[in-house]
Amino acid sequence: MNLAFEGPLDWPVTRGAIPVLVLVLGLVSLLGLAVSSSRHWWSRRLPCAVVLAAAVTVLIRFWVDDWWQPFPDPLPRKVLFWIGIGVLGVLLAVFRLPPLPWRGRLAAVVAGLLVLLMAGSQVNRIYDQYPTLRVLLAPWFEHTPTLSTSKAKATVAVPPGKVLAEVWHPPAGMPAKGTVAKTPLPGVKSGFQARDAYVYLPPAYQTDPRPLLPVLVLLSGQPGGPEDWVTTGDLAGIMDRFAAQHHGLAPIVVAADAAGSTFGNTLCMDSKIAKAQTYLAQDVPDWIHAHLQTATGRGATAIGGVSYGGTCSIQLGVNAPQVYGSLLDISGQDEPTLGSHQETVDQAFGGDEAAFDAVDPLHVMARQRFPDTNAAFVAGKSDGEYGPQNQKVYQAALAAGMKATWSTVPGGHDWNVFRAGVSTQLPWLATATGLTR
């Protein structure tokens, strides 16, 4: 999906005038709900609403971070603050209702909803998960076709000493844009219950003869799923822009599932949780080569991802180097985690520290060298948590002999960074996988 601004559904809601307007309306509504001429309101109802909102926010923090634990990291303070503001707005509206006439009650309800909308908007601005209404409503509005695996009669391979761009000549009638399709990608060897994958096929793939293109296996963060790359990640737009500058050539992208569910965390390892590494290192490439016409060999196959998916990419790069010759780690961590190191070792390996060390990227790179692996690491300039971890892994990759680079892009730990990470590293990836010089 392309994030070009084509109509109201495509207007940006995380930057520009719309989020500012929502913020102003929400603050005015919050002030209106908080102010009253009643002494009883100032002495009892308002303090009660504030204390109760603070208590509910604290309970949400403990419920999410300590009990439910859907994320490996705690909720950011900025997110908790806006959750608290949203709760306060709802409570103030509820406390204002009893003495009001019906029109006043309607106004209080509307004001409470505006405060809630403001809080949700600010949280969305932190992550940039839904940059437009179209992305937010994509599960209801967008239809992704099923993947067609028809084969071309002729293909264009790369002779020794050349790259594909040097021997490719786009035929007349080649489409201007690539396609995105949805497909099951079963865990035949691993038994892993994966969600459907999404496959981007560039314009050149839709021709006959068909060039044998390199492949990028792309992983999302956690929580999340493969569909995030199609909606929030603007995968088709990013790849189409690159293809337009390279005569229709771009990597084939397979957005695969590494988690099994929105809040799942398999650590991308073979462990007591799941055989996720077997899925990503065997089932996924086996499926790709059985159903698509692509370049083959580790040199033409890359793995990448963001946040949790970035951590997975370095794991697969060092634990399955025979499959993936290049890796792209965007905002990844310095080790796979379920929340804490001990919790990870206990749940995934029954407390066996040696079993964890055998597949942990930093430990693997400390004892092995990878001179034939290309690696790119990217982090947000203001990402104070994941940025230093990402750079730590980059330094370990250099020490292990990888051809590695590290760069930053504006932003924190959000989809602005993730999209920019893929877009800025596409030229590097194309060179590393033999697409361009």
Specify the pairing of strand 326-330 against strand 301-306: parallel
Q: Note every long-range contact of 183-189, with CB atoms under 8 Å and residues 24 or more positions apart, other chains counting.
A: 183/146, 183/147, 183/291, 185/254, 185/256, 185/257, 185/283, 185/284, 185/287, 186/283, 186/287, 187/275, 187/278, 187/279, 187/283, 188/283, 188/286, 188/287, 189/278, 189/279, 189/282, 189/283, 189/286
CB neighbour burial string for 50-87, b if at least 16 within 10 angstroms, e if fewer: eeebeebbeebbeebbeeeeebbeeeeeebbebbbbbb
Q: So what's the pLDDT on residue 197?
A: 97
- Model confidence at 39, pLDDT cuts 50, 70, 90, reads confident
Of the ranges 20-24, 204-208, 339-343, 401-405, which one carries the lowest mean pLDDT score?
339-343
Write down the mean pLDDT value for the chain. 93
- Per-residue pLDDT, averaged over 82-106, amounts to 92
Q: So what's the pLDDT on residue 30?
A: 95
Rg, Å, the chain Cα set: 24
Q: Any bridge partners for residue 213, and if so which? A: 294
- Model confidence at 40, pLDDT cuts 50, 70, 90, reads confident
- Model confidence at 3, pLDDT cuts 50, 70, 90, reads very low
What whole-number percentage of the chain has pLDDT above 90? 81
- Model confidence at 157, pLDDT cuts 50, 70, 90, reads confident
Give yes or no for residue 291 having a pLDDT over 60.
Answer: yes
Pick the CATH number of 146-432 from 3.30.300.30, 1.10.10.10, 3.40.50.720, 3.40.50.1820: 3.40.50.1820
Domain ranges of the chain: 8-127, 146-432
Report d(CA 397, CA 390) in Å as an integer.
Answer: 11
Give residues with Cβ within 8 angstroms of 225, minimum separation 6: 195, 257, 259, 261, 262
**Three-point CA angle 421, 424, 430, nearest 5°:** 110
Q: So what's the pLDDT on residue 203?
A: 97
- Per-residue pLDDT, averaged over 147-173, amounts to 91
Give yes or no for residue 281 having a pLDDT over 80.
Answer: yes
Give yes or no for residue 1 having a pLDDT over 70.
Answer: no
Give yes or no for residue 377 having a pLDDT over 60.
Answer: yes
Q: How far is CA 184 from CA 60, 82, 195, 259, 346, in A?
A: 36, 38, 7, 15, 32
Q: How far is CA 40 from CA 48, 104, 113, 339, 389, in A?
A: 11, 18, 24, 45, 52
Give yes or no for residue 286 having a pLDDT over 90.
Answer: yes
- Model confidence at 266, pLDDT cuts 50, 70, 90, reads very high
Report d(CA 37, CA 141) in Å as an integer.
Answer: 46
